Chains A and B, each alone.
Chain A
Amino acid sequence: MDDETPRFLDCGESALSVEFGDSVDPAVNARVLALDERLRAAPPAGLRETTPTYRALFLRYEPLEISRAALIAAIEGLIAPLDADARALQPAARWTIPCCYDPEFAEDIGEAAALLGQTAQSLAQLHAGADYRAYMYGFAPGWCYLGGLPQALAIPRRATPRGPTPQGGALIGGALSLIAANPMPTGWYVVGRTPERMFALKRDPPFLVAPGDAVRFEPIDAETFLSLDARALAGETVARRETLL
């Protein structure tokens, strides 16, 4: 694929995938988010919604209002050279998310550590020591996929899913980490748990971390988890946000 030109893939006659690459790569994701931002700032008539993912921007549009050709022309007018898009590599904000790695909150940490040749303590240190990029949400509301997992923690996903994750589970699977907003069965490993609500309907805004934001985990003990959990339950945001741009 030409590095500069995305592919335009039809997803039926009323959706289009603008594909910048086929890998999980911060530079590719930056181009997706840069186009997303420009389209949202000045949406062409007929564009209904944009959904950024790792490597493509998914567009829902009404073809009776804008033709595929006109939409693509509008997008091509918004795609900047690679170096300009690279600015989107810089996160707009950094989140520090409290995370408890005690085995009672990290149900799979012993199992994952054994598979990785680590101890539970070294796994927790590696997980909490890394800088992550929030690539995208998917699967279910508030499920936030994070790149930047240390190589030593890359782990094949389970062949058979485990039972439902705890709310706020910090998960690892493949080369990624993930915060699971609500209980769901998954093939990933639960290595920690945050008291923060990644998705809370009654809070404004209901979602905290934006795609492209930087994320770090701050280790907390069980007692701190319980006290922060009570505050989060009451509607407080217990993760910290720092504006970077």
Chain B
Amino acid sequence: MSARLLIEAAGPGVTIQDEGRFGHSRYGVTPAGPMDLGAYLVATRAAGADSAIEVSLGGMTLRAEGATLCVAVAGGDFDIRLEGRPMPPACLLPLADGARLVLRAGASGAWCYVAVGGTLDLAPTLGSRATHARSGLGPKPLAAGDALMLAEAAEPPLEPLALAAPWLAASGAPIRVLLGPQEDYFTPEEIEAFLNARWRIGARSDRMAYRLEGPAIRHRRGHDIVSDGVAMGAIQIPGDGAPLALMADRQPTGGYPKIATVIGADLGRLAQLRPGEDLSFRAVEWDEAVAARRAYFAALEAGGTREPLGAEMTTESLLAENLVGGVVNARD
């Protein structure tokens, strides 16, 4: 019998993502892709998958059918239960035929990736399986009753294993940005105000943009620019002065000045903030941003350590021991 993954429950905004739909931005196509690329890569590499389910704060329940599946989970600090047993927030596990995996919003984090070893039987559109709901490209957002067929199921591990998840070390460090591309639309005082402010993630934030609540940022010379390209993490200041951090589902071009752009190494940390949580920004130079990028991807490469779970291990004890230890190792 062929292997399937049954979605028994899914909150809003649970989608399939791969690294993104690249190569068509010149025709107005949004790349989409994961909100937290690092966590996505950990999950997909651990499971041997070419795409993952991106789980929102709404959570998800799924069940294996037809085979024991190799499943990896990584992302925010979600509450994860395998047949009722708590799992660490980043783990690689065998999901036995008929067994149920439940993911719910946990202590922190906004997105979590579930990767299934093998190939999901989903036809790519424009070369990608990433869902971009707004333009209708890629699979529809997942809903209760959906079934994902697995073309080739990978070999599952014999028992659940904890994965190193260095990003889970709680960090209130400022989100690093490079100024620009349109910092010249703002006075030095307004740029200072932007960098010194304490911001809060607004309630109407989603895969397209995170709204930043705080002081209004005023433009020096008008708020309309001739539209140009938009990077993920660009912080756009529209006419009302309330910044928008443009995320994975952003439009490929935009017509408001962008005061700064979040560096690649901190995009996942920004993405994992929930509505109502606070943040601040710190400006860095290109060299520092690239050094941080190099360290970030190196830590992900090195982060493939897998630890068996002790019999009495709880999520809490894992966080206190294995995972925090993993963080120190990854950083050193």
Contact = CB atoms under 8 A, between A and B. Distances in A.
* Same complex: yes
Interface of A: 9-15, 17, 19, 22-24, 48-58, 60, 63-64, 67-68, 136-144, 181-182, 199, 201, 206-207, 211
Contacts of B234: 11-12
A12 B262 contact: yes
Contacts of B262: 12
Given A11-B234, A13-B293, A49-B25, 15 more contacts: A11-B229, A12-B234, A12-B289, A14-B264, A17-B181, A24-B226, A48-B22, A51-B25, A58-B25, A58-B253, A60-B22, A141-B27, A141-B135, A182-B135, A201-B126
7 contacts: A13-B286, A53-B227, A53-B253, A54-B228, A63-B289, A141-B29, A141-B135
B297 A64 contact: yes
Nearest to A24: B226
A9 B289 contact: no
Contacts of B275: none
A85 B108 CA distance: 52
A55 B228 contact: yes
Q: Please provide the 6 A-B residue pairs with the shortest distance between their CB atoms, ordered closest to farther.
A: A58-B229, A138-B253, A9-B181, A137-B28, A13-B289, A12-B261
Interface in B278-308: 286, 289-290, 293-294, 297
Which of A15, A56, A143, A182 has the largest count of B CB atoms less than 10 A from its CB?
A15
Contacts of A138: 28, 227, 251-253
A72 B322 CA distance: 44
Given A12-B233, A53-B253, A64 B294 contact: yes
Interface in B260-280: 261-264
Contact of B229 (A23, A56, A67): A56
Given A137-B28, A141-B27, A201-B126, A12 B228 contact: no
A201 B261 CA distance: 32
B212 to A, nearest CB: 17
B125 A60 contact: no
